[in-house]
């Protein structure tokens, strides 16, 4: 929606960058935190299990069978918590038909094992046998020397210490990642602020252009935004050129109309007897000037729209069909590069070719040749328009471009054709030259226009 200043925008660029940065920071921190939590938790749990397995292996190494067929340890296990009642570290050794051997810490309360099975390798699982104490159990079944019974060695440990370690790790991870996320967000905010600072400087520079009358942005800026500044300066130069052209056209038109108006005013004031003829003559002159400047203004306006692409032959064929109705006895021939395109609006190209081809038909002897792309040039497309008329003397080929200049006053016309052709062609970066046609012997007009493709 338009904001209160009447502008249509799509929101803040800095806000977009911050939202994108915050989103990615959150996703990466959550994913990284989850992965790190699982890794550290697995390491702590594995270390806890390794300690229990170590005690289980120590029991297996130290266990022997006495003369009564009971199991005993030939040396102390080195874990004092086995001797302290309810210490959280327990062991037991049991076998079918044999009296079990329990650690003192169990206080004659044997451990409940997970079903009836035989484990030749250490088997870990959790137990909820004691309501106030979660246990981690590892067991293994072996046959001791001098015994036919299958003894199950069991080590159990309370998981409170393990849970506390995991909670401490997770707390450290949470605080660490929170601080890291905040730091990354602040860094992204600073990066956004300083990264977009050149754009704010451009805005200030443009504001300075509007308020102080400067016509260029000259502030040193990073090379990433320098092309934008260069394009903006080129746009300002283009606008200045257009404004200067508009002022020149307005001045030229005012100057051109001043003399006819003065003549009409003087004739009317003096009540001259030839006042009607004077008004008609001067009005024709003023109309000629207005037509000329309107043609230039239209060309300048259409040029400002952008780069046009107009096929030359299509325009020439359209003009030929129109001129044939006015001069049915004239023979027209259009030849050359049918694919040639020029950077000029179709209406302006039609007007240029219309003036040239109509002049050739009007002042020629009955033949008009149009050759497209007559001279090979990478940048300019040269169009020849030839006739078999009397031509124009070399010393008159310059003044014929003046507004209102006519060599043959016996035929109707305003004398603006070649002047309009020259002005419109120059507006688009082209030009017009006059020469003598070698093939037809009449006038040869060489029209140059910027090529496209």
Confidence of residue 423 (pLDDT cuts 50, 70, 90): confident
Q: For the purposes of burial, counting CB atoms within 10 Å of the CB of 280, is it exposed (0-12), middle (13-18) or buried (19 or more)?
A: exposed
Q: What mean pLDDT value characterizes the chain? A: 82
Confidence of residue 176 (pLDDT cuts 50, 70, 90): very high
Highest mean pLDDT among 124-133, 239-248, 273-282, 406-415: 124-133
The answer to whether the CB of 149 falls within 8 A of the CB of 93 is: no
The answer to whether the CB of 50 falls within 8 A of the CB of 136 is: no
Confidence of residue 153 (pLDDT cuts 50, 70, 90): very high
**Structure token pair of residue 403:** 């507004």
Confidence of residue 375 (pLDDT cuts 50, 70, 90): confident
Is residue 289 predicted with pLDDT exceeding 50? yes
- Tell me how far apart the alpha carbons of residues 194 and 229 are, in angstroms, rounded to a whole number: 18
- Tell me how far apart the alpha carbons of residues 244 and 241 are, in angstroms, rounded to a whole number: 5
Query: What count of Cα atoms within 13 Å lies in the side-chain half-sphere of residue 42?
Result: 6
Q: Check residue 405 and give its pLDDT.
A: 43
Q: Check residue 129 and give its pLDDT.
A: 84
Highest mean pLDDT among 4-8, 280-284, 341-345, 373-377: 341-345
CB atoms near residue 334 (< 10 Å): 17
- Tell me how far apart the alpha carbons of residues 310 and 421 are, in angstroms, rounded to a whole number: 17
Q: Check residue 419 and give its pLDDT.
A: 76
Q: Check residue 10 and give its pLDDT.
A: 62
The answer to whether the CB of 378 falls within 8 A of the CB of 451 is: yes
Q: Check residue 277 and give its pLDDT.
A: 78
- Tell me how far apart the alpha carbons of residues 213 and 209 are, in angstroms, rounded to a whole number: 5
**Structure token pair of residue 48:** 């806890």
Confidence of residue 415 (pLDDT cuts 50, 70, 90): very low
Domains, the chain, with CATH or none:
8-195 (no CATH), 227-301 (no CATH), 307-452 (3.30.565.10)
Confidence of residue 37 (pLDDT cuts 50, 70, 90): very high
4 against 376, higher pLDDT? 376
**Structure token pair of residue 156:** 């159990």
DSSP string covering 139-168, please?
EEEE--TT--S-EEEEEEEESHHHHHHHHH
Q: What is the mean pLDDT of residues 184-192?
A: 88
- Tell me how far apart the alpha carbons of residues 196 and 12 are, in angstroms, rounded to a whole number: 11
Q: Which helix (H) or strand (E) holds 92?
A: strand 89-94
Task: Indicate the range of 38-47, 177-186, 412-421, 436-445 predicted with least confidence.
Answer: 412-421
Q: What is the mean pLDDT of residues 393-419?
A: 58
DSSP string covering 337-377, please?
-TT-EESS-HHHHHHHHHHHHHHHHHHSSSEEEEEET-S--
Task: Indicate the range of 104-118, 232-246, 296-310 predicted with least confidence.
Answer: 296-310
How confident is the model over 316-354, as pLDDT tens digits?
Answer: 999 999 999 889 999 999 999 999 999 888 888 888 898
């Amino acid at each position: 929606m338009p904001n209160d200043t009447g502008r249509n925008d799509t929101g803040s660029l800095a806000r977009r960058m911050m939202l994108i940065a915050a989103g990615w920071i959150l996703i990466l921190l959550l994913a990284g935190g989850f992965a790190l939590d699982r890794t550290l938790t697995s390491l702590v749990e594995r270390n806890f299990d390794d300690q229990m397995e170590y005690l289980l292996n120590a029991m297996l190494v130290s266990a022997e069978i006495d003369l009564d067929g009971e199991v005993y340890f030939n040396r102390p296990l080195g874990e004092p918590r086995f001797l302290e009642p309810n210490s959280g570290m327990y062991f037991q050794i049991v076998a079918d038909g044999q009296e079990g051997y329990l650690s003192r810490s169990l206080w004659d309360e044997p451990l409940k094992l997970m079903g009836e099975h035989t484990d030749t390798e250490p088997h870990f699982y959790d137990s909820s046998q004691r309501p106030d104490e979660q246990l981690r159990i590892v067991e293994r079944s072996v046959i001791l020397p001098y015994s036919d019974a299958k003894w199950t060695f069991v080590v159990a440990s309370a998981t409170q210490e393990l849970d506390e370690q995991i909670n401490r790790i997770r707390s450290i991870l949470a605080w660490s990642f929170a601080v890291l996320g905040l730091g990354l967000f602040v860094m992204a905010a600073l990066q956004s602020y300083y990264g977009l600072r050149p754009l704010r400087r451009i805005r200030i520079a443009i504001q300075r252009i509007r308020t102080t009358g400067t016509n260029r942005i000259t502030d040193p800026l990073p090379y990433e935004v320098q092309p934008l500044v260069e394009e903006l300066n080129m746009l300002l130069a283009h606008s200045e050129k257009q404004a200067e052209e508009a002022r020149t056209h307005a001045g030229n038109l005012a100057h051109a109309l001043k003399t006819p108006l003065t003549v009409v005013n003087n004739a009317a004031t003096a009540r001259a007897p030839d006042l009607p003829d004077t008004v008609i003559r001067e009005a024709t002159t003023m109309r000629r000037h207005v037509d000329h400047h309107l043609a230039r203004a239209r060309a300048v306006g259409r040029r400002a729209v952008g780069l046009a692409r107009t096929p030359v032959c299509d325009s020439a064929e359209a003009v030929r069909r129109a001129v044939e109705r006015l001069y049915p006895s004239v023979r027209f021939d259009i030849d050359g590069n049918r694919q040639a395109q020029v950077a000029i609006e179709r209406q302006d190209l039609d007007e240029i070719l219309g003036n040239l081809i109509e002049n050739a038909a009007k002042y020629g002897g009955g033949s008009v040749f149009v050759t497209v792309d007559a001279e090979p040039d990478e940048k300019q497309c040269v169009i020849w328009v030839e006739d078999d008329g009397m031509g124009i003397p070399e010393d008159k080929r310059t003044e014929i471009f003046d507004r209102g200049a006519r060599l043959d006053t016996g035929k109707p016309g305003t004398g603006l054709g070649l002047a309009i052709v020259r002005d419109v062609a120059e507006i688009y970066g082209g030009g017009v030259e006059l020469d003598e046609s070698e093939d037809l012997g009449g006038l040869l007009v060489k029209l140059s226009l910027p090529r496209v493709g």
